[in-house]
Structure 1
Amino acid sequence: MTLAPERTGAAGAAVETPTGAPGPAIGRSVDRVDGLAKTTGTARFSAEYPIPGITHAVLVHAPIARGRIRSIDTAQAEAHPGVVLVLTHRNAPKLTPPPTRMNPMDLSTMAAGSTIAFLNTDEVHVDGQPVAAVVAESLEAAQYAASLVRVDYDTIVPTSDFDAELGNATPVRSMPVMPPTGGKRGDARAAYARSAVTVDLSFSTPQHNHNALEPHATTAEWDGDKLTVYEGCQNIDWTQKFLAKRFGIPAGDVHVVAKFVGGGFGGKSKVWAATLIACMAAKLAQRPVRLALTREGVYRTVGGRTPTRQRVAIGASTSGHLEALIHEVTSRKGRVGGQADQIVACSLDLYDAAAILAEQRIVELDLMPNTAMRAPGEAQGSFAVESAVDELAVVLGLDPVDLRLRNQPGERSPVHGTRYSHRRLAQTLERGRDLFGWDDRPATGTRDGKDLVGWGVAAAIHPSWEFVANVQLTVDPSGGATLACAFHEMGMGTATVVGQLVADCLGVPLERVTAIYGDSELPLGPGAGGSGQTASLAASIERACRAMRKRLDKLAEGLGMPDGSDPADVLTRAGQGPLTVEVGADAGPRATWGQVRFLSKMVMDSRRWMKAATGAHFCEVRVDADTGELRVTRWTSVFDVGRVVNPKTTHSQLRGGIVMGLGLAMGEETLIDTRTARIMNPSLAEYHVPVHADVPHLDVHTLDDPDPTMPLGVLGAGEVGIVGVGAAIANAVRHATGRRVTDLPITLDRIIS
């Protein structure tokens, strides 16, 4: 790949845009470089590092959701053989309280999963809040001793009935540098009132909880006042700075290691109770401590997806042109943390309605704070909007694909007025229609034996982001190129893709590139969230490779060698040792100035461009006419995620999003006992995620069309895959059965009732 000369971007910053076709590495389906380590078990996750003198911690969870500890008896637990200590609010180290407001100049202020002062208070705020931690020489001893801790409580009646509290919801205002939680164009209510054809539907989606393959785990070790944390996290920088502030030590004295992370999906983007308590226990015990949450422990101490109640009202002409689109949402947060997801965001850009109104309200409850969960907001909001659009197609007697195509925006966002940097949603719909054979779809569903068969479609959109990424690039006379950055590998193949980017941007074979990552002692990396990690890394890698190539070409010129010569040949002939370039600054005043530049670019970019990955889902379902049992039997999706660096890893990410969407649509639901505010199904035995039998062959395609405003043309693929999946299935059920299911999950009782 050749890099074009630098040009000036939206914020006046240099933007490096690739020209021509990808090089020999980019665009290839390269196997994951960490695949062998993971499949043979040599990859070490946060609970697997061999630390001399390691102890094990187990949490004691409160069985109430609100109240105060009246008394706590740890004598039996402390007397149990092997117990090192029992940590409670009576002896735990006192920490600096967590921040309660986000500071744009320090995004680590967003790292607090909750505002609860864990083990620094006798108050209980949520079901399952840790009230003690037992540290022992063995896990078994800690588990048994934890059962011996006796706690008495004074209880307060919690507020946890979401529907009962809807009347107490308060408006949500969009925040700077955050995704939109509202917007308007014209007078949508008046336009709806005078529309010839209308659809007005109410929807509900439940709370969801995280179930990553690797449950949350922390290994903490102190050396004097210096802390080392082996942590499966999605944002090393946030974790490092947050822990430093809580323990009152310099950020440089906190070493965070996150080489491998067994899935995150947003649940590991913040710091939760167990991480803090492991560090507190290690400090008090003066021993390394390992704390690995059980599945139930994850439900009790880690946030999940907010439930929603949504209304979508659409007004249209008889020709099917949208005249009004109203999307009203109420979600919930915890009284001790959480924030509004961008549930209405998809309504602002999916369709060119003449008038649009998107509003969100929020309720505070005595439950664990909600947190990011793959496409937070878009996953739920798209279910409502795309179901309502499908119902409008039924009312109008129009093909659902044709209705979507005739209402696509032009060059600018209907609400924001910003220009689309690269919008290919119509092309994904058209290509998906052809690949799926949509033209053969009958007007109503068909019957095959006892099965009712239906086809559904839904569109997808997810914004694209760029974050700060500092990198260090080194080439040596042996021909090796090493890229160092504290980015994250959570299974999506980032380390592999980084190698491909360096290989082509620097002009060296892929097998000679090594990526070093997952450690706070490396240059600051972007968090793995918002589908922005690859694009962020691409921008810095391009700059680093350009700077390296200039230095190499200058050396080559002095040797009479042509520009673009192999780095190993140049360094060898020059008698030069390893050559290193760095991009970015992550310390002192320069780091502050770098954050100012980052925020300025983000704001200026958002005023000029609307950037997003898009896609279209097509599916076939079969519904047992007698029992209502639902099966998805065929699936085709087409996505525009910009340039596809590695089709194998990209398509894997998109398939993963679709599978997670199948769970959202057909099974996942956290059940809350509103009398006690306790989760009733905190395990994989009762919380139903998709299994192999639930997932058909997923036929996934990408346009591989670079966005000229994004680094290397990459838009991001991690989250757009789940958007619209719930609606596609609901729309197929509507086609098969004639029943519009508006409440998730789509269980058999909701189909046959």
Structure 2
Amino acid sequence: MESPPRPQSAAGPVVGKPIDRVDGQAKTSGQARFAAEYPYPGLAYAALVHSTVARGRVTGFDVAEAAAVPGVLTILTHENAPSMKPPPRATLTNGGMIVTGTTVNYLNTDEVHWNGQPVAVVVAETLEAAREAAGLVRVAYRESQATVDFATEEEHAVPLKGNPLQRGTARKGDAEAAFRVAPVSVDLRFTTPPLNHNAIEPHATTAVWDGDRLTVHEGTQGIAWLRAHLAARFGVPEASVRVISPFVGGAFGGKGPVWAGTLLTVLAARATGRPVRMMLTREGVYRTVGGRSPSIQRVALGAAADGRLTALIHTGVTGTGRVGGLPEAVTSPSGHLYAAPNILLRHSLVELDLLPNTFMRAPGEAPGTFALEAAMDELADKLGMDPITLRMRNEPETNPIDGKRFSHRLLREAYAYGAQRFGWADRTPEPGSMRDGRWLVGMGVATAHHGTMRFTANVTVRLSADGSVLVRCGLQEMGMGAATAQAQIAADALGVPFEAVRVEYGDSTLPTGPGAGASAQTVSVAASLLAACDKLRRKVRALGEGGSLAEILARAGRDHVEAAVGSQTRLGTLAGQAKFIAKFLRDHRRWVKAGCGAQFCEVRVDPDTGEIRVSRWLGVFDVGKVINAKTAASQLRGGIVMGIGMALSEETLVDPRTGRIMNPSLAEYHVPVHADIPPIDIHYLDEPDPTMPLGLLGLGEIGVTGVAAAIANAVHHATGKRVHDLPITLDKLL
């Protein structure tokens, strides 16, 4: 994908400026083409048939009525579908397998592992015919006993085995003993429900085979990872697979893994010999795409009378599927946020016969900060201390759990600025003491926190005689302005106007980009882009001195000069990954790198109905250097909106008898709408992290952290009622 023409002029240094997105006009005018909008002659359409049992085996199909629907081409089941290789084991150097959504080999097995698993695919001439026929397929099962109720399985939780990226258990001192003798303490239980992804663009795939060559149009967060995964599953070389993904209509983690819809569209295209498109319904997303795991958390805090923590205990139980899923690292924030001489963190897992969970914006840290930050507020209440004062009294100088240095941390500054800007001093501390007419008014705060990661990225930069610059990288544009930010970086690095830079992205034929996850894409590409620009400047100097660029290139008999970072060969890729992992481990042993911030919230609560209205919001963030002031504020604001939904309305309801999701639609799963959201004031400190390229820390996910706790704390201040179980619905206040 080539970025469209620039919508505005931006002379001079542009990093940090609020530049309009280069793709803004294409998106707002309808020119941007998404995965389900590519025309192909002979295009057929596919629809899924979902299992209605949680565990068992398929014993037969009745497809006669479905096959009779006009336009139906074929109905694929495990009895007639082409073979597909099962996913091999994931490794740190095999990104294509890290993104395996589940280990199920769809339509190559009669086993059923959750209610909603695809057991058949209907392919037809039209979308309407495919969906009508899918509803007419009758499936017989031999059911097995299934475990689907997370709430009743807590006692069967198994301690998580640690790995280099996530500890199962971490200890410092004797937290249980210190807690028992603490002069002041709180011991609290919190729960958060499962949550589902609801991107504006539901998952869609268009797949075309040409012999053994495959082209896939897909909204994905990992073009290179998807390509490698499809090559492995369908037994073709990676070079034979092309993934095209110029625009992604929202993702937040759900379009990182490879799910059934993608694989079965490719399978259907191979079986029919025609281009095939599948567009999941909203219900289809709920039934086949993982979301956030439910959690049960205990936070126990012990403190001296002056508020200094003596013990911090944070344990969590989260759910995962028997055929995949990820530990939701809810205890992670408690290893970084507060100085305590005695800390215990422990994470346990419950395996369920449900669709495996997956990444969802700030996985672990979003629900984890809810429990920790709500507990800190209760401790402040018990101590008779201002919640900000308590937090700052326990602000650590080094990482609390292991003593590593912080590469960058300005949380004190964020709270000081935020308190002044928000008017925290006007808050009267007693619950229920503030009113606005009939409304009870409450103010709450919470700390935001999210770790920083980097991936490998290949980049090429071409400088032409006319002064134009072409940056090429197979990165993903999910709406955050990725191409705009990289153009700003290249413009400043090469000393050219912003308008002179074009960025090509969104295609696996480009140099391999990183995945867009863990708030890491911008910094990952920026590191390679800066290195490539440096190589480019040295190449130009080597061609000669004196005269304009055009004259220098003309004397050298060239019309451009190009530099690359990263190798596209298999050996070069492996060497690059090995170098990256070695650096990552060195950094991991030396530093804790993370963004942080302070969330300030004001709510109004109707004392008669329990209705909650968020009336004001301020987020102050320390996220390192900001590349684009406009898109950065938008990202942080969007995270806060997502957190408001998590706090007040979002909840996936799972039938504890059958494992079926009972509210798989936006009519019954309630996300925030415009009327629910107040003006959101965003401020960032814009202080670079000296250990990161350009000082970047990443900001895509930190905005959602701390939000639910700030709302819960504000609700308590307004009403005197503590709610420990999300979402905070009005029935919990009455």
Q: TM-score range by the shorter chain?
A: over 0.9
Q: Which residue of 2 aligns with 1:623?
A: 605
Tell me, yes or no, if structure 1 residue 451 matches structure 2 residue 433: no
Query: Aligned with 2:153: secondary structure?
Result: helix
Separation in 1, partners of 2:600, 2:486: 32
Is contact 2:441–2:602 with CA below 8 Å preserved after alignment? Answer: yes
Deviation at 1:449, TM superposition (A): 2.5
1:33-67 C-alpha deviation (Å, 9 max, x unpaired)? 00000001110100001112111111111111112
What letter corresponds to residue 490 of structure 1 in structure 2?
M
Match of 2:39 among 50, 73, 78: 50
Q: Which residue of 2 aligns with 1:711?
A: 693
Separation in 2, partners of 1:472, 1:25: 21
1:130-181 C-alpha deviation (Å, 9 max, x unpaired)? 11111111111111222222211122232111121111100012212x2444
Q: Which residue of 2 aligns with 1:669?
A: 651
1:169-188 equivalent positions in 2, closer than 5 A: 169-176=157-164, 178-188=165-175
Is contact 2:35–2:217 with CA below 8 Å preserved after alignment? Answer: yes
Deviating runs (4+, > 4 A) in structure 1? 572-575
Deviation at 1:586, TM superposition (A): 2.8
Deviation at 1:570, TM superposition (A): 3.7
Deviation at 1:182, TM superposition (A): 3.7
Which ranges of structure 1 fall in alignment gaps of 5 or more residues?
Answer: 1-21
Separation in 1, partners of 2:579, 2:443: 48
Q: Which residue of 2 aligns with 1:523?
A: 511
Q: Which residue of 1 aligns with 2:426?
A: 440
Moved more, 128-137 or 719-728: 128-137
Separation in 1, partners of 2:200, 2:697: 26
Is contact 1:58–1:135 with CA below 8 Å preserved after alignment? Answer: yes
Separation in 1, partners of 2:370, 2:137: 45
Deviation at 1:572, TM superposition (A): 4.8
1:655-694 equivalent positions in 2, closer than 5 A: 655-694=637-676
1:338-379 C-alpha deviation (Å, 9 max, x unpaired)? 021221110001111111111000000110001000000000
Is contact 1:182–1:344 with CA below 8 Å preserved after alignment? Answer: no
Is contact 1:621–1:630 with CA below 8 Å preserved after alignment? Answer: yes
Separation in 2, partners of 1:405, 1:629: 32
Match of 1:730 among 688, 697, 712: 712
Separation in 2, partners of 1:745, 1:420: 33
Separation in 2, partners of 1:147, 1:385: 45
What letter corresponds to residue 751 of structure 1 in structure 2?
L
1:96-245 equivalent positions in 2, closer than 5 A: 96-99=85-88, 101-176=89-164, 178-245=165-232
What letter corresponds to residue 154 of structure 2 in structure 1?
L
Q: Which residue of 2 aligns with 1:334?
A: 321
1:75-474 equivalent positions in 2, closer than 5 A: 75-99=64-88, 101-176=89-164, 178-410=165-397, 412-444=398-430, 445-474=433-462
What letter corresponds to residue 113 of structure 2 in structure 1?
H
Q: Which residue of 2 aligns with 1:542?
A: 530
Normalised TM-score (structure 1): 0.95
Deviation at 1:527, TM superposition (A): 0.3
Deviation at 1:450, TM superposition (A): 2.1
Is contact 2:603–2:614 with CA below 8 Å preserved after alignment? Answer: yes
Query: Aligned with 2:704: secondary structure?
Result: coil
Q: Which residue of 2 aligns with 1:36?
A: 25
Q: Which residue of 1 aligns with 2:563?
A: 581
Separation in 2, partners of 1:185, 1:644: 35
Separation in 1, partners of 2:341, 2:167: 20
Query: Aligned with 2:583: secondary structure?
Result: helix
Match of 1:553 among 528, 541, 560: 541
Separation in 2, partners of 1:504, 1:422: 24
Separation in 1, partners of 2:305, 2:672: 40
Separation in 1, partners of 2:72, 2:146: 34
Is contact 1:181–1:344 with CA below 8 Å preserved after alignment? Answer: no
Moved more, 87-96 or 508-517: 87-96
Deviation at 1:555, TM superposition (A): 2.2
Separation in 1, partners of 2:448, 2:419: 15
Identity between Structure 1 and Structure 2 (%): 56
Tell me, yes or no, if structure 1 residue 645 matches structure 2 residue 633: no
What letter corresponds to residue 504 of structure 2 in structure 1?
I
Query: Aligned with 1:328: secondary structure?
Result: strand
Query: Aligned with 2:358: secondary structure?
Result: coil
Which ranges of structure 2 fall in alignment gaps of 5 or more residues?
Answer: 1-10
What letter corresponds to residue 397 of structure 1 in structure 2?
G
What letter corresponds to residue 695 of structure 1 in structure 2?
I
Paired positions, count = 722
Separation in 1, partners of 2:411, 2:356: 34
1:86-142 C-alpha deviation (Å, 9 max, x unpaired)? 11111111111113x431221322111001111111111111111111111111111
Distance 1:259 1:568, change over 3 A: farther
Query: Aligned with 2:575: secondary structure?
Result: helix
Is contact 1:470–1:524 with CA below 8 Å preserved after alignment? Answer: yes
Separation in 2, partners of 1:507, 1:182: 49
Is contact 1:615–1:639 with CA below 8 Å preserved after alignment? Answer: yes
Deviation at 1:23, TM superposition (A): 6.4
Separation in 2, partners of 1:509, 1:52: 42
Query: Aligned with 1:749: secondary structure?
Result: helix
Is contact 1:125–1:336 with CA below 8 Å preserved after alignment? Answer: yes
1:412-439 C-alpha deviation (Å, 9 max, x unpaired)? 2111221100011111111111110101
Is contact 2:337–2:400 with CA below 8 Å preserved after alignment? Answer: no
Deviation at 1:478, TM superposition (A): 2.1
Separation in 1, partners of 2:580, 2:689: 20
Separation in 2, partners of 1:323, 1:568: 67
Is contact 2:326–2:358 with CA below 8 Å preserved after alignment? Answer: yes
Moved more, 267-276 or 148-157: 148-157
Deviation at 1:568, TM superposition (A): 4.6
1:646-694 C-alpha deviation (Å, 9 max, x unpaired)? 0100010000000000000000000010110100000000000000111
Separation in 1, partners of 2:219, 2:463: 30
Separation in 2, partners of 1:654, 1:520: 29
Query: Aligned with 2:324: secondary structure?
Result: coil
Match of 2:472 among 484, 487, 490: 484
Normalised TM-score (structure 2): 0.97
Query: Aligned with 2:581: secondary structure?
Result: helix
> RMSD of the TM alignment (CA)?
1.2
Match of 2:15 among 4, 8, 26: 26
What letter corresponds to residue 54 of structure 1 in structure 2?
L
Deviation at 1:573, TM superposition (A): 5.8
Is contact 2:373–2:709 with CA below 8 Å preserved after alignment? Answer: yes
Separation in 1, partners of 2:552, 2:427: 62
Q: Which residue of 2 aligns with 1:9?
A: none
Separation in 2, partners of 1:322, 1:296: 46
Q: Which residue of 1 aligns with 2:6?
A: none
Match of 2:502 among 486, 490, 514: 514
Separation in 2, partners of 1:556, 1:345: 54
Is contact 1:181–1:343 with CA below 8 Å preserved after alignment? Answer: no
